[in-house]
Amino acid sequence: MGKGLLSGFSQQPYWHEHLDPPLALVERPTEAADVVIVGSGYTGLNAAIETARAGRSTLVLEAGTPGFGCSTRNGGQISTSIKPSLEKLTRRFGAEKARAIRHEGENALAWIEERIKDENIDCDFQRSGRYHAAHTPQHYEALARMADKLTREENIEAFPVSRAKQRTELGTDSYHGGLVFPRHASLHPAKYHRGLLQRAIDAGVEVCGHCAVTQIDPTADGFRVVSEKGTVKARDVIVATNGYTTGLTPWLHRRVIPIGSNMIATEPLPQTLVDRLFPTHRIASDTCKVVYYYRASPDRRRILFGGRVSAREIGPAASGPKLYDSMCRIFPELRDYGVTHTWSGTVAYTFDELAHTGMHDGVHYAMGYCGSGVSMASYLGMRLGQKVLGLRQGQTAFDGLRFPTRPLYTGKPWFLPAAVAWYRWNDRREYTKAARVA
Ligand SMILES: Cc1cc2nc3c(=O)[nH]c(=O)nc-3n(C[C@H](O)[C@H](O)[C@H](O)COP(=O)(O)OP(=O)(O)OC[C@H]3O[C@@H](n4cnc5c(N)ncnc54)[C@H](O)[C@@H]3O)c2cc1C
């Protein structure tokens, strides 16, 4: 129970409110460009800034309004973004490559801070730190062991917080302690996107919205890019479509798994309540397999809560009440307050839980951030721009990795509802068992 969705709730991201007015965009694409970029999120824009500043005429084509995808819908949480552990990667790639891949997560985190500072982008960036909460005592023990290992082996700062001290980090007793990553950060995703868009336009990038690309054909000296608003001759093409990848690029479509993620924003809350639930500025996430992630809004007036709440894809009006219930289970005090915004977006997972970048049939790509793309999409986008310019700095540890798919997989994840249902059932079972013992 509780107030749930308030009447007149919005299905647009909370982040879209109070944004500066849209910037000068081009109505129609030009007939030719050195570089055509498909998709206007963090990947596409960061690539565009690099190529345009090096003097290449650059055109960004976007199916929706610029920033329509995840880049203005996410939680604004910035971690080191590499999901597989060093151990797991070492087994797969050997010690040296594994370290290099893990290190790219650190590089991305450091680089996004520099980018925002150098470009003077006003987007509430903060080295806030993250509290990663354990939803069972066993998870807490594993996290505590992991903290030690991360610091010792990878120089990644992390320290455990026991359940007894948890309220110094998060105003709930529903977890069994957690781990603090003091270097993780947060920002306002849509303001960051708007800042990038402005810098791209200032650099001479032409950005055309509501202009879906429908075909990319190789030619003798580049590509012919067909869009809803006209055909463009391009020397280089970058595909930056992540969770919105389609049959336009069938080879990539077969390699990413689109998964919906949902978020809600509460109505404005009393300051004392926000301070009690979030005594620090840290962002938060938990160890559930189907993870919840949440934080206070940058102005600390609301709670923004995200996760995946159903096995099947459902719209924001249906996911909002479910997320609300999950949020109130963690923070029962929030039952007295309702939700003003509920929204969703589509992230891209990969079969090996790693992001991928490279070139296929002459077309550059970077995608598959597995739900943690604020820094990684930005960083790999920038590197992709450098690659198009032929610069050595464009190289990354992800280069040359095989981008795996599965037999018969064509981009429609028929297996997802069963997998999510199983993980959610298991998360709930573990949680209930731990609560009974406690
Ligand atoms: C609810 C939610 C919460 C998230 N929270 C976090 C978080 O807290 N931290 C984090 O690190 N990550 C988070 N993410 C993931 C992160 O937002 C993404 O990884 C990142 O924004 C990806 O950026 P991108 O530029 O690659 O793709 P996107 O921003 O998704 O952009 C891709 C664009 O390509 C366009 N496109 C597709 N096909 C075509 C075509 N044929 N022609 C033209 N344009 C096309 C789409 O319209 C879209 O705008 C979250 C995602 C969601 C949905």
> How does pLDDT run along the chain (438 residues), one tens digit per residue?
799 999 999 999 999 998 888 788 999 999 999 999 999 999 999 999 999 999 999 999 999 999 999 999 999 999 988 999 999 999 999 999 999 999 999 999 999 999 999 999 999 999 999 999 999 999 999 999 999 999 999 999 999 999 999 999 999 999 999 999 999 999 999 999 999 999 999 999 999 999 999 999 999 999 999 999 999 999 999 999 999 999 999 999 999 999 999 999 999 999 999 999 999 999 999 998 778 999 999 999 999 999 987 767 788 999 999 999 999 999 999 999 999 999 999 999 999 999 999 999 999 999 999 999 999 999 999 999 999 999 999 999 999 999 999 999 999 988 888 887 788 787 778 777 776 666
Our answer on whether the CB atom of 277 is closer than 6 Å to any ligand 1 atom is no
pLDDT for res 289? 76
Ligand 1 pocket test, pick from 374, 380, 384, 398 with the greatest ligand atom count within 8 Å of Cβ, gives 374
Nearest Cα residue to 369 out of 108, 153, 103: 108
Query: Would you say the CB of residue 369 lies under 6 angstroms from ligand 1?
Result: yes
Are the C-beta atoms of 43 and 200 separated by less than 8 Å? no
Output helix, strand, coil percentages for the chain, rounded to the nearest 5: 35, 25, 40
pLDDT of residue 437: 63
- Among 348, 372, 387, smallest CA distance to 46 is for 387
Residue ranges covered by each domain of the chain: 4-437
What pLDDT score was predicted for residue 326?
94
The CATH number of the structural domain formed by 4-437 is: 3.50.50.60
The alpha carbon of 131 and the centre of ligand 1 are apart by a number of angstroms equal to 24
Q: Give the per-residue pLDDT at 438.
A: 62
Contact 23, 45 (CB under 8 A): no
Whole-number pLDDT of residue 260: 92
Q: CA 146, CA 177: separation in Å to the nearest integer?
A: 14
Q: Please give the backbone phi and psi of residue 386, each rounded to the nearest 5 degrees, phi first.
A: -65, -35
What is the amino acid identity at position 286?
A: D
Distance (Å) from CA 43 to ligand 1 centroid: 8
Taking the centre of ligand 1 as the mean of its atom positions, its distance from the CA of residue 372, in whole angstroms, is 10
Q: Cα(362) to centroid of ligand 1, in Å? A: 23
Instruction: Identify the residue whose tokens are 């650059």.
Output: 58
* Best of 73, 242, 346 for a ligand 1 pocket test (most atoms within 8 Å of beta carbon): 242
- The residue behind tokens 């129609």 is 28
Residue 263 phi/psi, 5-degree rounding, is -140, 155
Q: What pLDDT, on the 0 to 100 scale, is given for residue 30? A: 96
Note whether 76 and 187 are within 8 A (CB).
yes
**Helix 95-118 with 374-388: angle, nearest 10 deg:** 90
What CA–CA distance (Å, rounded) separates 66 from 64? 6
Rounded distance, CA 54 to CA 281, Å? Answer: 38
Contacts with 415 (C-beta within 8 Å, 6 or more apart), sequence order: none
Cα separation, 435 vs 329, whole angstroms:
12
Q: Are 1 and 176 in contact (CB under 8 A)?
A: no
Q: What is the pLDDT of residue 426?
A: 79
Is 316's C-beta closer than 6 angstroms to any atom of ligand 1?
Answer: no
How is residue 252 written in tokens?
């990539």
The partner residues of 293 in beta bridges, in order of sequence, read: 285, 306
Predicted local confidence at residue 310, as pLDDT: 72
